[in-house]
Amino acid sequence: MMLVLIKNALILPIDDAMSVIDNGYVHIDGDTIVAAGAGAAPEIPNAEIIDADGDLVMPGMVNPHCHMAMTLFRGLGEDVDDRLYRYVLPMERKFVTPEMVRVGTELAALELIEAGVTTVADMYYFETEVGRVVDRAGFRGVVGQTIADFNPPDHKTIDEGFALAEQLVAEFAGHDRVIPSIAPHAPYSTDIAVMNRVARWAEDHPDVPVQIHLAEMDSEMEWCAKNHGMRPVEVVDKAGLLRKGLICAHCLHVNESDIAKMAHAQVCVAHNARSNAKAGRGIAPVEAMRKAGIPVGIATDGPMSGNTLDLFSQFAPVTMFQKLLGHSRKPMPAVDVIRMATIEGARVLGLDRKLGSLEPGKKADLIRIDLSAPRMQPVYDIYASLMFSAMPVDVRDVMVAGKWLMRGREVLSLERRKVMRDALQIAGQFKAEMARIDAAG
């Protein structure tokens, strides 16, 4: 077994006390953390010794809502008001193949690892391809096969959608890092009968997490009111899907009674601040949901909606929007934000017993962050520095399950040049198609 000892590090174990350990060490045996503490590092014969030279060591970050393959759509038609119907949906139907999903997900994997994200929850199409990329790239993924009734690229009927979910489960059941998941797209794109079928299917697959977009848009509110005379949370509840561990993305349009229902059902929330703001959708009541006991993680949404997949670029909007809501500097302090990015995000995915903190028995998923950039100094409150000053380029090393995925900013588990070349080649096809659409008027 590989033994690793990281010493002379500023350690954020993300324990209950949110301790800050100056000059500490982390001892790793195989894929597991044996010890993390202050003071002189223990003598460990045959260990790889890493002198962190005062750099920060903390748990890898958790991004609980993403559509990784959509990196290939990043920035496309950004200022075109009807870009979804003009470009994206027709192009998804034309271009989304297993190969495109592989290439887009590899680009995302490179970006995530470079940014210190070690666990991601994804929902898209041809999700077995996504699982395979996560497997090869060495990080962790909750990979969700989307089920929707709008004729998506990989299934014409709901039965076909469930068959894809079954295949995904068959391929990855028991995998240490790739967790198969099922993702009914949203209330308006599945409706009660399909959501109910997912709920019953999930009863038979207790280890398969369920993900859904929920209470995200005004049009969703209108759809739920018109078709069921209810609010989105109530529609999901009526379908029997508001169940323990349900990973709900967005949850902007939730009132006090919705929040009480969600807390009672023990659902979890993935908060997508930048994506929500870019579309002008509103501000999720994050503080109220957390106060009610609902775990909330910090997510990016897909790169078309949120552009980047790192959590650093989410931190400022996450805290600022709650401060704006509260007309005060106090809401959503830095320790809470970093907690949400780590252990609370892990809890959203049902993985907090396994990861999210640097504590004995946890999986060795950790990142080393260089604090030497001028914008990172001085440090009075390391959590505030992380929230407002740190950027993905500051992440120097990344370890998942005891294996280095990045050392000295070089990703070891993916061929960077090939990933970029494949992505740009498909982007060229997208550009040509956009030109064709524009020429057609």
Structure-token pair, residue 315: 């931190």
Report the SS3 class of residue 391: coil
User: Of 250 and 363, which has the nearer Cβ to Zn ion?
Assistant: 250
Stretch that binds Zn ion, among 299-307, 333-341, 356-364, 407-415 (CB under 5 A): 299-307
C-beta of 216: minimal distance to Zn ion in Å? 8
Stretch that binds Zn ion, among 30-38, 296-304, 374-382, 425-433 (CB under 5 A): 296-304
List binders of Zn ion among 368-387 (CB under 5 A).
none
C-beta of 301: minimal distance to Zn ion in Å? 5
C-beta of 333: minimal distance to Zn ion in Å? 27
C-beta of 50: minimal distance to Zn ion in Å? 37
User: Of 277 and 391, which has the nearer Cβ to Zn ion?
Assistant: 277
d(CA 223, CA 150): 15
User: Of 301 and 422, which has the nearer Cβ to Zn ion?
Assistant: 301
User: Of 92 and 301, which has the nearer Cβ to Zn ion?
Assistant: 301
User: Of 13 and 209, which has the nearer Cβ to Zn ion?
Assistant: 209
Q: How far, in whole angstroms, is CA 400 from its chain's centroid?
A: 16
Stretch that binds Zn ion, among 27-35, 88-96, 300-308, 429-437 (CB under 5 A): 300-308
Q: What are the CB-based long-range contacts (under 8 Å, 24+) for 203-208?
A: 205/169, 207/173, 207/179, 208/165, 208/169, 208/179, 208/180, 208/181, 208/182
Stretch that binds Zn ion, among 21-29, 136-144, 202-210, 293-301 (CB under 5 A): 293-301
Rule CB under 5 A: say whether 220 interacts with Zn ion: no
CA nearest to 348, candidates 265, 280, 246: 246
C-beta of 180: minimal distance to Zn ion in Å? 18
User: Of 211 and 389, which has the nearer Cβ to Zn ion?
Assistant: 211
C-beta of 277: minimal distance to Zn ion in Å? 14
User: Of 249 and 334, which has the nearer Cβ to Zn ion?
Assistant: 249
Structure-token pair, residue 263: 């807390």
Q: At what angle do helices 334-341 and 312-326 cross, to 10 degrees?
A: 130
Stretch that binds Zn ion, among 294-302, 321-329, 335-343, 386-394 (CB under 5 A): 294-302
C-beta of 275: minimal distance to Zn ion in Å? 7
Categorise residue 367: left if φ over 0, alpha if ψ from -120 to 50, beta otherwise.
beta
C-beta of 178: minimal distance to Zn ion in Å? 20
Rule CB under 5 A: say whether 301 interacts with Zn ion: yes
Q: At what angle do helices 191-204 and 158-172 cross, to 10 degrees?
A: 20
Cβ(397)–Cβ(407) below 8 Å? yes
Q: At what angle do helices 127-137 and 98-114 cross, to 10 degrees?
A: 40
List binders of Zn ion among 97-116 (CB under 5 A).
none
CA nearest to 68, candidates 431, 439, 432, 423: 423
User: Of 118 and 189, which has the nearer Cβ to Zn ion?
Assistant: 189
Structure-token pair, residue 417: 């040049």
C-beta of 212: minimal distance to Zn ion in Å? 10
Report the SS3 class of residue 271: strand
Q: Site for Zn ion (CB under 5 A): how many residues?
A: 1
List binders of Zn ion among 151-190 (CB under 5 A).
none
Q: How far apart are the first and last CA of the chain?
A: 62
Cβ(21)–Cβ(10) below 8 Å? yes
Q: How many residues does the chain have?
A: 441
d(CA 165, CA 435): 35
Rule CB under 5 A: say whether 92 interacts with Zn ion: no
User: Of 143 and 401, which has the nearer Cβ to Zn ion?
Assistant: 143
Binding site for Zn ion (CB under 5 A): 301
